[in-house]
Amino acid sequence: MTPRVALHVVKLGSATLAHPSVFAEVAELAGRARVLVVAGGAAGIAAHYRAIGREVPMLRLRNGDEVRHCTPEEMAHLVDAYERVTLPGARSGLSAHGLAVFTATGASGLVTATPAGPLRASVEGKQRIVRDHRIGTVTSVDVARLGALLDAYDVVVLSPPVAASDGGTPLNVDADVLAAELSNVLHADHLRLVTGTPGLLADKDDPATTITDVHPGEGGGHAGGRMRQKVRAAELALLGSADVAITGPHTLHNPAGTSRFWPERPPRAELTLLNRVVAIPSVSHDEGELARYLVGWCAERGIDAFVDEVGNFVATRGEAVGGGVPRRLLMLGHLDTVPFHWPVRWDGDALFGRGSVDAKGCLANFVEVLAACDVPPGYQLRVVGAVEEEVSSSRGAFHVRDHYPADAVVVGEPSGVDALTLGYFGLFKLGLSVRTPTGHSAGKDAVSAPDAVVGLAQDIRDDVLKLVPEALSALISLSSAQRHDHHTAEAVLNFRVPPGADLDAITAAALGHASVHASFGHASVEVLRRTPGHAGKRSTVLAKAFGRAFGQQGLRPRYLVKKGTSDMNTLATTWRDVPMVAYGPGDSAFDHTDDERITGADYLAARAVLADAVGHWITLTGAAG
């Protein structure tokens, strides 16, 4: 089962809840991520008040907006409206897709607010100070309970009103703002405020005037009525780590009707794509939003691009001549990152954010070089942003290996502006499991399951390192469980093995230890991953093309074989005699750290090297016939 690591917060307005198609979109999300839906209630409130023969009391504020007059007496009716109309409707629509759904109002104690101060409003045509209202400002969220619910259910649906910190009747809060507050405190990856218009419009009367990109302070001038609250909520959410958009009409995914809110402008216009690619979270198994954004970016520039059947972003320029096979250069990056919880930000020329180095800077450069390069007849350049590179599956790269053949490959991984990576160590990963009889730890010759699994790991390490002294090893996970009649322990043992290492001999040495340790109970050893190392040569046409590019940019290159593993290794499992290198800006020491960052200067310098290298590769392959 795919781990549901990412969190999507989706605010559905009451009118959108009447559109069945949006429930299908939420169901698709729930298959790969945790989903929190915040349900708006205007239509449900109106329906409930009609059913009980009661008029919805309203106030007109000084700015012209109308809000409900939420007196303590009215709050009971508002809670009823959500619990009897809005939430049952959401539950029914989602359950129809086979989802396990939890619904509640924030008044259940999941969200708490403090009462707002008096309002100045028009009452019966006269300006008055209104004190008898129950409008609140969110101050706390029960993160532990909500987290448990999100893990237990496919979709959690939450709506106003919320609990009051003063112990009084519940407090009404704006549903868009509630969604933004929840997005921030839960460290959501994505926030979508779904509405009945195609995003934020430059002209509210013209649905074709969607403002596609919005920065802080820009949206308010184009918003009126209820849209003002959505803009306010979107800008509030930019304080967190989510990528934020207003979408519609009544859909999560409409490229022509999406207004994205970006946390900051880059210091230079040439860094815009880098800025945006890093600002869209894309943890493993949740790469879809970034892939779709890149497809849209390419479409605006006339580049053929799509998301393939496994989720890879694929963009291609150039074709064969006269029905032949073109010379094909593949630039292979990856979309996914490891998880993170901090806002993307610029500090001078440095962009801090997950993926800036590993490896969104590389991928953004690939796409920009693809767009700018002159591709002559008979040549084809293809960029792929692969999924699941940061997890053991490497699903995207395996699909590339089997479906996108190439004559040369540049892998997008950080090497530094002045360095070219010729190869990587391989990955040998083992799952270890030990089961021992239950016994007192003070018993004679007692060996606990954790002791046994650690001993098993060490014995395997010793034998593997005898075969491959250059290998690196680490025990990367360890767990145990106690039952009434037995004790179990499990571990994952990781090896990085150099190119040329005999994986068959290493595998035999490792698997041979299962029977050796059977004397203290049951022991098993399972191979979880077996990817050989790979190293190319400096004499290939591709490496020479980069050598010329370095010289053209006044750089003296360094050539590396790295201890990590990349998608180069996956391709090399079946591709023979295909030159491959890895290149990209950034310092790999920042990979996966909370200090991950890249400078604009390095990004642009690497782009220049890459563009020159692609041009030289075309020239050299043409000269070679």
pLDDT at 39: 97
Average pLDDT over every residue of 567-584: 95
Least confident of 301-305, 377-381, 562-566, 608-612: 562-566
In the predicted model, is pLDDT for residue 440 greater than 60?
A: no
Residues 195-252 have pLDDT tens digits of 999 999 999 899 999 999 999 999 988 888 889 999 999 999 999 999 999 999 999 9
In the predicted model, is pLDDT for residue 445 greater than 70?
A: no
In the predicted model, is pLDDT for residue 495 greater than 90?
A: yes
CB 336 within 8 A of CB 389: yes
Residues 110-140 as b/e (b if ≥16 CB within 10 A, e otherwise) read bbbbeeeeebebbeeeeeeebeebbbbbbee
Residues 154-163 have pLDDT tens digits of 999 999 999 9
* Band of residue 2 on the pLDDT scale cut at 50, 70, 90: low
Residues 365-377 have pLDDT tens digits of 999 999 999 999 9
In the predicted model, is pLDDT for residue 516 greater than 90?
A: no
pLDDT at 517: 57
DSSP character for 172?
Answer: B
The residue from 289, 336, 567, 591 that is catalytic is 336
* Band of residue 625 on the pLDDT scale cut at 50, 70, 90: low
How many helices and strands in the chain, by DSSP H and E? 17, 30
Least confident of 24-28, 296-300, 435-439: 435-439
Rounded Cα gap, residues 548 and 578, in angstroms: 20
pLDDT at 309: 97
In the predicted model, is pLDDT for residue 124 greater than 90?
A: no
CB 472 within 8 A of CB 434: no
Average pLDDT over every residue of 62-70: 77
- Cα atoms in the Cβ-side hemisphere of radius 13 Å centred on 358: 24
* DSSP string computed for 86-139: IHHHHHHHHHTTT--EEEEEETTTTEEEEE---EEEEETTEEEEE-S--BEEEE
Residue boundaries of the structural domains of the chain: 7-261, 269-424+534-623, 448-531
Tell me the CATH class for 7-261: alpha beta
In the predicted model, is pLDDT for residue 64 greater than 90?
A: no
**Among 53, 559, 586, CA closest to 274:** 586
Which sign does the torsion angle of CA 604, 606, 610, 613 carry? positive
> What are the φ/ψ torsions at residue 481 (nearest 5 degrees)?
-145, 145
Residues 391-407 have pLDDT tens digits of 988 999 999 999 999 99
Residues 161-206 have pLDDT tens digits of 999 999 989 999 999 999 999 999 999 999 999 999 999 999 989 9
Rounded Cα gap, residues 423 and 179, in angstroms: 46
Active site residue 132: no
pLDDT at 132: 83
269-424+534-623 fold: Aminopeptidase (3.40.630)
pLDDT at 444: 47
Rounded Cα gap, residues 304 and 321, in angstroms: 18
Give the total residue count for the chain. 625
CB 607 within 8 A of CB 369: yes
Rounded Cα gap, residues 371 and 305, in angstroms: 11
Rounded Cα gap, residues 365 and 412, in angstroms: 9
Active site residue 336: yes
In the predicted model, is pLDDT for residue 119 greater than 60?
A: yes
Integer angstrom CA distances of residue 219 from 3, 199, 200, 201, 227: 36, 11, 8, 9, 9
* Band of residue 441 on the pLDDT scale cut at 50, 70, 90: very low
In the predicted model, is pLDDT for residue 1 greater than 90?
A: no
**Among 468, 477, 478, 490, CA closest to 563:** 468
Which sign does the torsion angle of CA 195, 197, 199, 202 carry? negative
The residue from 83, 154, 235, 389 that is catalytic is 389
pLDDT at 519: 52
In the predicted model, is pLDDT for residue 17 greater than 50?
A: yes
pLDDT at 485: 75
In the predicted model, is pLDDT for residue 609 greater than 60?
A: yes
pLDDT at 130: 79
Rounded Cα gap, residues 83 and 607, in angstroms: 55
* Band of residue 546 on the pLDDT scale cut at 50, 70, 90: very high
Rounded Cα gap, residues 512 and 460, in angstroms: 9
Rounded Cα gap, residues 190 and 184, in angstroms: 10
**Per-chain mean pLDDT for the chain:** 92
Average pLDDT over every residue of 557-565: 93
